[in-house]
A and B are shown apart, each in its own frame.
Chain A
C-alpha cells in the first residue's frame, strides 16, 4: 500500500547513490540512477540500470532499488519480502525476480533489496491510456494471476509469516484496529464496524497466500499483456475471499472491477477459474474489513512522526476521505441488518 513516509531520508536525483550502491553490491557495474519512484510506507524506491556480473548477458539491465527505513508502519520487513518474492518467483508465479538483499551494514546504511524492473506499465495506466486494450481479456488474465496465487500451497511461506492463516480474520482485524485506536480518531462507524467484525469472525478452513493489496495499479502489464504482481508488503496467509473483497473496493473506470468486468462477473470468473464458490457472507465480512483497513491506512498516514515532522499534504488529503469510507460501512451494516429481516 503506497503511503509515503514524510521523514524518509532522500538523496536528490540520486547524487552519490550510484557510487554507494556499487560499493554495497560489488556485482553491479556502471550503475546509472534514473529516477526516484513513489515510495511505500516504509521504503524509498529508485529505478536504475546497471550491468550485473552474475547474469549471463553483459548489457545493462533495468533494476529497482528499494531501501527500508527504521520503522515500518504496517509492512513486513524488506528481508522477509525478498525471501517471499524469491520463493514465489521460483514457484513460477508472475512476480519480479529478486536479485540482491542486504541489511544496514553496507555503504547504503539501510536495509535494501534489488529486483528486476519490469518493462511495462501498471494496469490502471494502460487502461487509462485507452487504445486497443481488450479490457475483458486483460481482466480475465488478472483473475487468472490471482487464481494461481491462491492455488499455491501456503506452506511455501509459512515460516516467513506469523500464524497459520486459520485465525486470519481475527489477526488481521487486530492489526488494523490497533492503527485506528492509535490514531485517536473517534468514529462511531469504525467502532461499530470493528465490533461487528469481532462478532462475525470465523476460522479459515483452507488458508492460502493472500496478496493483501491486489488492485490494478499493483499489477504491471508486460508488452504481451501478461500480468506481473508487485507490492507484496501486505501479503500474509489467510482467506482468499479477503483478496476478492479488496479488489472489489477499487472501482474506477480503469480498475479490474467496474473497469474490466462488473462485480458479479468478477466473482463468477474467479469461481469458474478456481472451481470454488465464494461464500457471500464471508465476502460481506471482508468488504467491511477492507473499509476498516483502508481507514486505518489513511489514519496512520495522519500521525506525526517521532521526529515531530507533520504528515505531508498528500497524506492529509487522504485522511480527509475517511467519511467516504464511513458512509460505505454504514451502508453495508444497514443492508446486513435489513437483509436479516423477512418482510
Chain B
C-alpha cells in the first residue's frame, strides 16, 4: 500500500524542516517557515473541505430560497432566479470534483451577496413600527450567521491569526433574530 497524500505531505514537511531549513539563508527562512505551515494547513484543508462543502451548499441553496421568498418572488431578478435553478441542478449532479464543488460554492456566494444586499435595501424602507422580526430581517440575520459559520469553519487551516484575535468582543455569542 502506498503512502497516503497526508503521509507524503508530512514527509515533505519533515524533509524541508529538518534538512533544508537549517541551511537556508536568513532572508529565505521566513518564506520556508511559511511553506511548512501552509503544507500543514493544506493537509487539514484537503481532509475537511469536501465534507464541509457537501453540507454547506444545500444550506446555502435553502437560504437563497428563503431570501427570495422574503423579497417576494414577483420582484426577484430573473438572472438570480435562473442562477438558483442552475446551482441546484449542478449540486444534484453526481461525481463532482472538489474543484467543481468550490466553483459552485463560489457562485452561490455571489448569489447570496446579491440577495443580502436586496434584503438590506428592503429593511431600510420598512416603516418604523415594523422594524422588528420582519421576514427580510430574519433571513438577513440568517445570511450573516451562515457566512460567519462558514468563515469560522475555514479558520483551522490558517496560521496567521490565533482564533478570536480580530475584534475579540465578537467572540461573545449573540442571540435573537434568525438564530437556529
**Which residue on B lies nearest to A315, using beta carbons?**
B34
Distance (Å) between the CB of A82 and the closest chain B CB? 26
**B35 to A, closest residue via Cβ:** A313
Main secondary structure of the interface of A (DSSP, over half): helix
- State A314–B35 Cα separation when bound (angstroms): 8
- Are A195 and B109 interface neighbours, CB within 8 A? no
Is the CB of B157 closer than 8 A to any CB of chain A?
yes
Docked-complex contact A189 and B147, CB < 8 angstroms: yes
Give the distance in Å from the alpha carbon of A203 to the alpha carbon of B95 in the complex. 53
Q: Do A287 and B168 touch (CB < 8 A)?
A: no
CB nearest to A190 among chain B residues:
B113
A323 near B177: Cβ-Cβ < 8 Å: no
Residues of chain A within 8 A (CB-CB) of B14 are none
Interface segment out of the listed A63-71, A150-158, A324-332: A324-332
A252 at interface (Cβ–Cβ under 8 A)? yes
Contacts of A330 in B (CB 8 A): 144-145, 147-148, 151
Contact A312:B177 (CB < 8 A) given known A332-B170, A334-B145, A338-B141:
no
Closest to B141 in A: A337
Q: Quick one: which of A100-158 are within 8 Å of B by CB?
A: none
Q: Find out whether the CB atom of B147 lies under 8 angstroms from the CB atom of A317.
A: no
* CA of A338 to CA of B178, assembled, Å: 10
Chain A min CB distance to B175 (Å): 8
B48: min CB distance to chain A, Å: 13
A248 within 8 A of B: yes
Q: A316-B34, A316-B38 are in contact. Are A337 and B167 (CB under 8 A)?
A: no
Q: Identify which of B106, B112, B160, B177 gathers the most chain A CB atoms within 10 Å of its CB.
A: B160
A188 x B109 contact (CB < 8 A):
yes
Closest residue of B by beta carbon distance from A343: B176
Cβ of A20 within 8 Å of any chain B Cβ, yes or no, is no
Question: Judging by beta carbons under 8 Å apart, are B177 and A320 in contact?
Answer: no
Partner of B31, one of A188, A196, A199, A313: A313
Cα distance A246–B154 in the bound complex, in angstroms: 24
User: A321 touching B137 by the CB < 8 A rule?
Assistant: no
Q: In the complex, which residues 183-203 of chain A have their Cβ closer than 8 Å to any Cβ of chain B?
A: 186-189, 191-192, 195-196, 199
Chain B residues, Cβ within 8 Å of A318: 160
- For B30, the chain A residues whose CB sits under 8 A away are 314
User: How far does the Cβ of A293 sit from chain B's closest Cβ, in whole Å?
Assistant: 12
> Quick one: given A331-B148, A337-B137, are A314 and B160 in contact (CB under 8 Å)?
no
B167 touches A249 (CB 8 A): yes
**Cβ-defined partner of B157 (8 Å) among A191, A320, A341, A343:** A320
B174 and A338 contacting across the interface, CB-CB below 8 Å: yes
Which single member of A249, A323, A338, A342 contacts B155 (CB below 8 Å)?
A: A323
| Known contacts A252-B165, A313-B35, A325-B166; A320/B41 CB under 8 A | yes
- A-contacting residues, B133-153, CB 8 Å: 133, 137, 140-141, 143-145, 147-148, 151-152
Whole-angstrom distance from the CB of B71 to the nearest CB of chain A? Answer: 15
Q: List residues of chain A with CB within 8 A of the CB of B140.
A: 337
Within 8 A of A (CB), among B6-47: 27, 30-32, 34-35, 37-38, 41
Q: Tell me if B3 is interfacial: C-beta within 8 Å of chain A.
A: no
Contact, CB under 8 Å: B174 / A326: no
Is B34 a contact partner of A251 (Cβ separation < 8 A)? no
Q: Is the CB of B166 within 8 A of A324?
A: yes
In the bound complex, CA of A258 to CA of B166 (Å): 11
Annotate B105-138 by CB proximity to A: 1 below 8 A, 0 otherwise.
0110110110011001000100000011100010
Asked if B55 is an interface residue, CB under 8 A from chain A, the answer is no
Q: Is the CB of A314 within 8 A of B147?
A: no
B38–A340 contact, CB under 8 A? no
Q: Decide: B170 and A328 in contact? CB cutoff 8 A.
A: yes
Find out whether the CB atom of B168 lies under 8 angstroms from the CB atom of A186.
no
- How far apart are B82's CB and chain A's nearest CB, in angstroms? 18
A324-B141 contact, Cβ under 8 Å, with A314-B34, A331-B148, A338-B177: no
Give the chain B neighbours of A337 by CB distance below 8 A: 137, 140-141, 144, 177
Q: How far is the CA of A258 from the CA of B117 in the complex (A)?
A: 34
> What are 21 A-B pairs at a CB distance below 8 A?
A186-B106, A188-B116, A252-B165, A312-B31, A313-B32, A320-B160, A323-B155, A324-B161, A324-B165, A326-B148, A330-B144, A330-B145, A334-B145, A335-B174, A337-B140, A338-B175, A338-B176, A340-B131, A341-B131, A343-B132, A343-B176
A199-B120, A314-B30, A331-B144 provided; 16 other pairs, C-beta below 8 A? Answer: A187-B109, A187-B113, A188-B113, A192-B116, A312-B31, A313-B34, A316-B34, A317-B159, A317-B160, A320-B38, A331-B170, A331-B174, A334-B141, A334-B148, A343-B133, A343-B176
Residues of chain B at the chain A interface (Cβ within 8 Å): 27, 30-32, 34-35, 37-38, 41, 106-107, 109-110, 112-113, 116-117, 120, 124, 131-133, 137, 140-141, 143-145, 147-148, 151-152, 154-155, 157-161, 165-170, 174-177
